[in-house]
Structure 1
């Protein structure tokens, strides 16, 4: 029997609480994924927005922001634990030191490039069921956010910065978590107000498109990780680091929002 929306909402909240208690780390964290989804929602054309709303209603969901972090919590949901394990490698990509992608740029790739290829194809297939396409929408929204988080496309053997310990605000943490959410929290804004702030900056200027789009997005992230100083000297995140890299993180959120909107327009119109 399909769970009712209220019961599903309760289950989702429990999953989020379990995840937080375990100290789990996801790309951008909930705040970043919600910002990306909200920025995309505001830029969708009317036809794509109507189709998104129709697909969201399949599971009783209300907005793109509400589903944006769903793939991160699958392993904490007994009903979807197997799906969470199967799709785990699709949240990131490991590069060599040169940040050049040399794998298959298609759905056979077991990384975020392949994840986008797979689920964009399902989302755009009108012969698929509404349930399949609604699930694909959740993955597409999430993976576009993931591929724009620099440490989900890194070039070091440290699990995307999870194994790189740092001091931030006088407390121990890791570099991945700093980029997930802790650096964004320094703006002292809730996700919707943060989306308002970034939207008020006007249209983001995207890098010139070249080759496979998903590969380009991943390589852009890797190039940020490869910058001198991205891994802080002395393993300490200070005010200067935040002042330098918070605008970079915000630009990636804006780019992700615009690209997600364009991708949904193209796939759903």
Structure 2
């Protein structure tokens, strides 16, 4: 317990307050779980374009989001739902995660007619954005604004807590370890998880992830290791579920396009 708490304090000293979405650990895990469920044809085709594993580019969009050629993607990492937890296309209509995924999918349906560079960057978009749409604080709800919490007196943005700290304070697994530990669903269960459209998946995320706003309140102070553990213990399974589901759904999407 105390080890986890002290690890958090050390991480706070090293990490900025910029929120990216899962962080490298989570995005790598999602991409590797997806890679393990690609059809042989999809895997071969994708690797022919990338010349490497999709895991290598799992966080690429975060690294390049402010570079001039990709600045238009800087708003693609989150998306809004309405009061009924359905995707709201009117919010950030020029740039959000769901629009980014849907537009990229539409483009890639005819990938053989595209130049290689367009296919490469489009695959990078999908690998990252399917992960981001599953990150709990990347679902934007009406009436819920961003806020801070305090751990040992240090201010944390709640968005950033779910991007990185929930995983960093509980596990230090590699992508392979995430897959080995989490990827235990049957074929029937995977079919159920991947059924429907991207918008159906996002609604599932919205319904499931709303519970994170019961775990912490704006300006809440976690003053002891015991109280912080009371937050982390239910938070980790939420993050693990979302990472696993994102991996399965990313694989389904890539198999549909390339498999």
TM bucket, shorter chain: 0.7 to 0.9
Taking a change above 3 Å as real, the CA distance of residues 75 and 257 of structure 1, as seen in their structure-2 partners, is closer
Cα distance change on mapping 1:245 and 1:21 into 2, 3 Å: closer
SS of 1:24's equivalent in the other structure is: coil
Report how far residue 261 of structure 1 moved: 0.7
CA, structure 1 residues 208+146, in 2 after alignment: closer, same or farther (shift >3 Å)? closer
* CA–CA separation in structure 1 for the residues paired with 2:139 and 2:164: 17
Partner secondary structure for residue 113 of structure 2: coil
Partner of 2:163: 180
State how far apart, in whole Å, the 1-side matches of 2:88 and 2:155 are.
35
What is residue 249 of structure 2 aligned with on the other side?
A: 259
- Which of 69, 74, 80 is matched with 1:94 structurally? 80
Note if 1:189 corresponds to 2:172: yes
Q: TM-score, normalised by structure 2?
A: 0.80
Query: Cα deviations across residues 94-133 of structure 1 (Å, max 9, x unaligned)?
Result: 23343223427xxx76321110011122333210011110
Number of equivalenced pairs: 233
- Out of 222, 226, 239, the position equivalent to 2:206 is 222
Pick one of 32, 36, 53 that aligns with 2:26.
32
- What is the match of residue 35 of structure 2? 41
Which range is displaced more, 41-50 or 110-119? 110-119
Match of 2:114 in 1: 128
- Of the candidates 148, 154, 169, which is equivalent to residue 171 of structure 1? 154
Cα distance per residue 1:199-255 (max 9 Å; x no partner): 2x3446544845xx1212222222234337435146246212221121011011100
**Residue segments in structure 2 that go unaligned for 5+ positions in a row:** 1-13, 223-227
Structure 1 segments (4+ residues) deviating >6 Å: none
Given the alignment, which residue of 57, 60, 73 partners 2:63? 73
CA distance in 2, matches of 1:165, 1:64: 33
Q: 1:265 to 1:209 in 2, by over 3 A?
A: closer
| Alpha carbons of structure 1 residues 257 and 29: separation in structure 2 relative to 1, 3 Å | same
Show the counterpart of 1:84.
70
1:113 aligned onto 2:102: no
**Gaps in structure 1 of 5+ consecutive residues:** 1-19
Matches for 1:243-254 after TM superposition, within 5 Å: 243-254=233-244
- CA shift for structure 1 position 33: 0.7
Q: 2:15, 2:161 → 1: CA distance? A: 17
Query: Which structure has the higher relative contact order (CA within 8 Å, separation 6+)?
Result: 2
